[in-house]
Each structure stands twice: as structure tokens, then as C-alpha cells.
Structure 1
């Protein structure tokens, strides 16, 4: 397995945020994390990349306990796209994306053609290459999100973690970004709110509630009418889409 989480728990003070979670992701596959606000999705992503320290349990990368891997090696291997990231510094789009190359460069190393190629390729993948010289502060929320994803891609990671990457994006760019993510030759763990997008683009799903995994497996196994009502508190009709062949969810009022 590329990523394996074994009975992991995490607490903030006396509050248990992640409670005995176990899950795994095969190399090159996309795992979608679903659940209501406060279910532990963001905390789990930070535990996987060691931005948070587990209270108990083990997170493994390629079979190795992440606690035994140096922070430099983790930075070169894992890229994280968070929900919100901003700056008051006057920087351009390409300046932001260049930050993705930082883990690959020593303190005295010069910028290389390989770095340039990684940055330009990442910008092209998210449709922002023509905005390379534009100031960050002039971008819309959706454009900023695409630039953050480009920064992560410029890092050339083997594992990519994304926390609500479609926030602030219009429908076209939601589909474009998740389509891109689903075709990358990297292992992805992505936290999402939209159940239909998760069904369309993720190879497998894990549903979290109050810090625990309450369902995991293929989208069509996980996204049942009963689970959606129990976890998300809404009534829904689930059927196979005649367009993309995955399950499609229609919500019912009242």
C-alpha cells in the first residue's frame, strides 16, 4: 500500500478528533474522504503528512512508519493542498508555484531547467500558464485554488493530499480539476463534500462521522440511501448514472 493508516487516534486537548481510524490506499489510486463538517477529514489529512502527531496508532508510507521518515523526505514525497492559504506579500502566480520546488533544492543549489519545467507543466495542467506573471492578490478564489494545486503538482509528489480542492471553483473547473487528479500517476487522498463528484472521480471512499470511519469501499457500495440519511441527515435516491456509469445521487426535499 502507498498509504496505510492503522488504528490512528488524535486529540486536541481533551477532545478526541480522530478515533481509531484504519484505512489504506493503493499506489496510484484516489481515495475520497467524505463526512459532515467536524467529522475529522482535515485532521486525518494532516496526520498522514505528519503536520499533526498521532495520539496512538501508526501511519505508514510505502510500508514505513511515517514517524521514522525525515521531514525532508516527507516534504519531497507528500504534497498537501489546504482549504485556505493566503498572503499579503506581493507575489506573482509563478512565484507561488515555484514554492513547490523548495523540498527538492538545497540551501545553496541554483534554480535549474528541471525546476522550470516542473513549474510550467504544473501551471499548464491547471490552465493557469497564461497567468504566470499576474499578481496573486488579483486572482479570484477559484483561480487561487487552481494555483495552489499547481504548486502541489510542481512538487512532483508520489502522494497528494487535498482538502476540499473544489471549494470556490465553478462547475467546469470542479470537473477539470478532479478529472486531472483522477488521471495523475500518484496516490491521492481528497476530502470532498460533494457526494456526486466523489462517486464520479474516486476509486474508493471512506465516510467519517465523529472521527470514526463508518463506511469504506467502492463508491457504489458506500453511497447508499440509508448511509446518506444516517450520516448526512438528508433523504436521497441513488441510482447508476447512464452518463458515466457511477452512482448518481438525487436529493429529496423534506
Structure 2
């Protein structure tokens, strides 16, 4: 497995936030994390890249326990796009994306062709190449999000973690972004709110509720009308799409 978690737990003070989570993500596949606000999605992403230390349990990248890996080694392998990533510095789009190369360079390493190619490719992938020299403070919310994803891609990760990456994006860019991420030859874990986007783009889903995994597996097996009502408190009708073959959810107001 690319990422595996066994009985992972984490507390904030005396409050259990992640409670005995066990999940696997196969190489090159996309896992969607779903759940109500406060269910533990963001916390689990931070545990995977060791921004937080597990209270108990084990997280592995391949065969390596992340608790024994150097932070630089983890950073060379995992890129995280956080929900509220921002900066107040008056810098260009390209300067933000260049930060993605930091884990691959020593303190005195010169900027080389490999670095430049990785940055330019990342900008092209997210459709921001034409705005590479534009100042960060002039960007829209959606453009800032795409820039941060370009920074992550410039890191050339083998695992990509994204926390609500479609926030601030219009429908067209939501679809384009998820299509891009899920067709990259890397392993992805994406925290999402939109159940239909998750069903459309993710290979598998894990539903978190109260810090626990209450369902995991292929979207068509996980997303049931009973689960949507129990976990999200919404009545829904679920059908299989004749267009893309995935299940889609119609929310019922009565």
C-alpha cells in the first residue's frame, strides 16, 4: 500500500478527535474523505504527513512507519494543500509555486533546470502559467487555490493530500481540478464536502463521523440513502448515472 493506517488515534487535550482509524490507499488511487464538519477529516490529513503526532496506532508510507522517517524525507514524498493556506507577502504566483521545491534543495543549493521545469509544469497543469508573474495579492480566491495546488505539484510528490481543494472554485474549475488530481500518476487523499464530486472522481471513499470510520469502500457501496441520512442528516435518493456510471445523489427537502 502507498498509505496505510492501523488503529490511529489522536486527541486534542482530553477530546478524542481521531478514534481508531484503519484505512489503506493503494498506489496511484484516490481516496475521498467525507464527513460532517468536525468529523476529523482535516486532522487525519495532518496526521498522515506528521504535522501532528498520533496518540496511538501506526501510519505507514509504503513499508516505512512515518514516526521513524525524517521530516525532510516525508516532505519530499508528501505534499499537503491546506484549506486556509495563504500568505501576506507581496510576491508573485511563480514565487509561491517555487516554495514547493524547498524539500528537494539544500540551504546552499543553486536553483537548477530540474527546479525550473517542475515549477513551470505545475503552473501549466493548473492553468496558471499565464499569471506566473502576477502578484499574489491581486488573485481571486479560486486563483489562489490553484496556485497552492501548483506549489504542491512542484514538490513532485508521490502522495498528495488535499483539504477541501474545491473551496472558492466555480463548478467548471471544481471539475477541472478534480479531473486533474485524479488522473495524476500519484496517490491522493482528498477531504471533500460534496458527495457527488466524491462519487464521480474518487476510487474509494471513507466516511468519518465522530472521528471514526463508519463506512469505507467503493463509492457505489458506501453512499447509500441510509448512510446519508444517518451521518449527514439529509434524506436523499441515489441513482446510477447513465453518463459516467457512478452513483449520484438527489437531496430531498421533504
Q: TM-score range, shorter-chain basis?
A: over 0.9
Q: CA deviation at 1:45?
A: 0.3
* Matching of residue 231 in structure 1 with residue 237 in structure 2: no
The residue number in structure 2 matching 1:9 is: 9
Cα deviation, 1:34-76, whole Å, max 9, x if unaligned, reads: 0000000000000000000000000000021100111010000
The residue number in structure 2 matching 1:139 is: 139
Q: CA deviation at 1:27?
A: 0.3
| In 2: Cα distance, 1:198 partner to 1:84 partner | 21
Structure 1 counterpart SS, 2:31: strand
Structure 2 counterpart SS, 1:52: coil
The residue number in structure 2 matching 1:116 is: 116
The residue number in structure 1 matching 2:176 is: 176
| In 2: Cα distance, 1:39 partner to 1:84 partner | 18
The residue number in structure 2 matching 1:19 is: 19
TM-score (norm 2): 0.99
Structure 1 counterpart SS, 2:249: strand
The residue number in structure 2 matching 1:98 is: 98
| In 1: Cα distance, 2:88 partner to 2:94 partner | 16
Q: CA deviation at 1:85?
A: 1.5
* Matching of residue 157 in structure 1 with residue 157 in structure 2: yes
Structure 2 counterpart SS, 1:176: helix
| In 2: Cα distance, 1:78 partner to 1:86 partner | 19
> Structure 1: which 4+ aligned runs deviate by more than 4 Å?
none
Structure 2 counterpart SS, 1:86: coil
The residue number in structure 1 matching 2:127 is: 127
Q: CA deviation at 1:88?
A: 1.5
| In 1: Cα distance, 2:203 partner to 2:109 partner | 39
Q: CA deviation at 1:119?
A: 0.3
TM-score (norm 1): 0.99
Structure 2 counterpart SS, 1:173: helix
| In 2: Cα distance, 1:218 partner to 1:86 partner | 34
Q: CA deviation at 1:89?
A: 1.1
| In 1: Cα distance, 2:76 partner to 2:106 partner | 12
Q: CA deviation at 1:160?
A: 0.3
Cα deviation, 1:169-189, whole Å, max 9, x if unaligned, reads: 000000000000110000000
Structure 1 counterpart SS, 2:177: helix
* Matching of residue 192 in structure 1 with residue 192 in structure 2: yes
Aligned CA-pair RMSD: 0.5
| In 2: Cα distance, 1:187 partner to 1:6 partner | 18
Q: CA deviation at 1:86?
A: 1.6
The residue number in structure 2 matching 1:70 is: 70
Q: CA deviation at 1:90?
A: 0.4
Unaligned runs of 5+ in 2: none
* Number of residues of Structure 1 aligned to a counterpart in Structure 2: 254
| In 2: Cα distance, 1:162 partner to 1:72 partner | 19
Structure 1 counterpart SS, 2:4: strand
